[in-house]
Amino acid sequence: MKKTSLWILLGFVLLTFLYFPSYSKYLKLKRQEERLSQDIIDLKTKIEGLKKEEALIQHDPAYLEHVMRKELGLVKPGEVVYKLVPEKTESQKSAEKQKSVSIPAAKPASA
């Protein structure tokens, strides 16, 4: 009786050690599959948006002009572009002062 229960216990331990790594790998692959499925959904959504934008660019001259001005910075002949630079805040000014640290002069070598 003791031999049989020992063999059963040994078999159970052996099956556990053989099964557990496979099950862990299965769970890892399942999580990876879920992540990749979500990536596919996100990419399909992005593709649809890009296709809509492509159609707008091809068929809507006003949208095309908007994109050319915004993305490429193009202007019509005779237009003058004024770019306003925001004033620096106090923290940006102090950060610039800290960056411009003076380097001390080198000491002459003694002869």
The pLDDT of residue 102 is 58
The residue extents of the domains of the chain are 2-75
The CA-CA-CA angle for residues 18, 22, 23, to 5°, reads: 110
Report CA-CA distances (Å) from 60 to 45, 48, 63, 90: 22, 18, 5, 45
Per-residue pLDDT for the chain (111 aa), expressed as one digit of tens each? Answer: 677 887 888 887 877 777 777 888 899 999 999 999 999 999 999 999 999 999 999 999 999 999 998 888 888 899 888 888 888 787 777 777 776 655 666 666 664
Does the pTM surpass 0.85? The reply is no
Residue 63 exposed, middle or buried by CB count within 10 Å (0-12, 13-18, 19+): middle
Instruction: Give pLDDT, residue 52.
Output: 96
